[in-house]
Amino acid sequence: MSTDTSLAQAESPARVQTKFVGVAQSLDARVDVAKMLTPEHYAVEREAIFRRAWLPIGHTDDLPEPGSYFVYDVPTFNASLLVVRGDDGQVRVFHNACRHRGNKLVRSGAGKKRSFMCGFHGWSFSSDGALKVVTDHNQFDGLEKADYGLSRVTSEVWENLIFVNFDETPRESLQDWLGPEFFDRYQGYWDLHEKVASYSFDLNCNWHLAVNSFTEGYHTMYIHKNTARDYQGGKINPQRHRPHMELTRRHHRFSAPGNPDHEILPVEGLAIKYGRKLLPAFDFDFSMLPAGVNPSRYEYWAFDNIALFPNMVVLCGNHYRVELTFWPIDGSRTRIYNSLYNYKTKNLGERLGQAYFRARGRDVLREDLNTLEAQQQGLVSGGMPHVILSRQETALKHHFAVTENMLRGQ
């Protein structure tokens, strides 16, 4: 992969300059985002991007044993998915609809079942999707149970993340979709943490705006000035420039710079005393992490931001991670699923410490979401021919370039 040295050498008062890996120089800095906010444009994107893409829906950790299941709703395709670990240990994804008359087989939630019975007429399916029971079977002419198992959705697993593909015949494997820059470089990372909180939000904004809100650090000094005022940058990097940014065929990752001079407040100090540094303090220890996390091994590393196009952003820390998925409902509404994962606790003190950081992270998230509906209103008004993006927003430039490429069928 090439390195763009011209951007890294650009004049700046900061002592930390961004190293760009991948083609950054040729990306457009002026983007007509407003044209992407129409219902017509979204309808094209749904088929050309979301139907072709590998989309994350959960983790194998959520299915600890045979018969474990969870329901996952995908508003982009108005689909409900039933994700099940079969008796053979394999994870399968089905349309959550009885093959008799389409009733939702499991209304919501998660649990464990040996079989799934439809509450409408009593048809029953095994954990591998096979139709096992048809009530009053002799009243159906020519019905062969082997022909009416639950409808499968193509799925694959990377590390412990479960992905689906809604294309009738996927055009590439999950491994090819992720690329070598991601596929082989995160071994074991997703097993370091456990889920401690999850939220969902429906916002009146386009999915592009929602994803973009979490894929640049330029905003952090302003939006987060009260909740995480000095967690990044510091004296050596006053503008909080990303030390490392890598662009691949579809995805990106960059490293966020921690502040070695961060002032620890009294309550934060108590949380750290009984637990570990999470957010807004960092211990700069990345010795336990695989090569894909903090790939440049930056000394004052806070966390990585990885964006798996089109709709997943992960903030990858050492003792925590934050996962966000963005599902367009239509051209002007987006559902956001947010999950927080922390290190696995050993005692009450660590759990109390995590509670503080969980509350702080929730408030930071709400600040990130706060601008989205206002952006939507400003852009759809028609008063702006384009937005203009800085070098520190190169990930956004890349996002829109990938969008255009996929709309062209590339």
pLDDT tens for 378-403 read 999 988 899 999 999 999 999 999 99
Is residue 150 located within the same domain as residue 17?
no
Rg, Å, the chain Cα set: 23
Is residue 292 located within the same domain as residue 159?
no
- Domains of the chain: total: 2
- pLDDT digits over 49-93, tens only? 999 999 999 999 999 999 999 999 999 999 999 999 999 999 999
Q: Residue 14: its pLDDT value, please? A: 54
Is residue 75 included in any domain, yes or no?
yes
Is residue 62 located within the same domain as residue 39?
no
In what side-by-side order are the strands of the sheet with 55-59? 55-59, 161-165, 154-158
8 A C-beta contact, residue 337 and residue 195: no
For 196, the 3-state DSSP assignment is strand
What stretch of H or E contains 357?
Answer: helix 348-370
Q: Which of 12, 174, 316 is nearest to 324 (CA)?
A: 316
Is residue 106 located within the same domain as residue 229?
no
Range of the domain at 32: 3-45+192-407
Is residue 268 located within the same domain as residue 390?
yes
Domain boundary among 108, 135, 169: 169
Tens-digit pLDDT string for the chain (410 aa)? 444 433 443 444 557 889 999 988 889 999 999 999 999 999 999 999 999 999 999 999 999 999 999 999 999 999 999 999 999 999 999 999 999 999 999 999 999 999 999 999 999 999 999 999 999 999 999 999 999 999 999 999 999 999 999 999 999 999 999 999 999 999 999 999 999 999 999 999 999 999 999 999 999 999 998 888 899 999 999 999 999 999 999 999 999 999 999 999 898 899 899 999 988 889 999 999 999 999 999 999 999 999 999 999 999 999 999 999 999 999 999 999 999 999 999 999 999 889 988 888 889 999 999 999 999 999 999 888 999 999 999 999 999 999 999 999 98
Is residue 224 included in any domain, yes or no?
yes
Q: Residue 280: its pLDDT value, please? A: 86
8 A C-beta contact, residue 240 and residue 257: yes
Is residue 223 located within the same domain as residue 369?
yes
Is residue 282 located within the same domain as residue 245?
yes
Instruction: Indicate which CATH number applies to the domain containing 389.
Output: 3.90.380.10
Is residue 180 included in any domain, yes or no?
no
Is residue 112 located within the same domain as residue 210?
no
Q: Residue 309: its pLDDT value, please? A: 98
| Residue 311, φ and ψ in degrees, nearest 5 | -135, 20
Residue with tokens 């960092």: 282
The model carries a pTM of 0.92
Is residue 306 located within the same domain as residue 371?
yes
Is residue 273 included in any domain, yes or no?
yes
| Residue 281, φ and ψ in degrees, nearest 5 | -105, 150
Residues 6+ apart with CB under 8 A from 161: 56, 58, 59, 60, 190
Is residue 36 located within the same domain as residue 81?
no
Is residue 231 included in any domain, yes or no?
yes
Q: Residue 400: its pLDDT value, please? A: 97
Is residue 119 located within the same domain as residue 65?
yes
8 A C-beta contact, residue 72 and residue 81: yes
Is residue 174 included in any domain, yes or no?
no
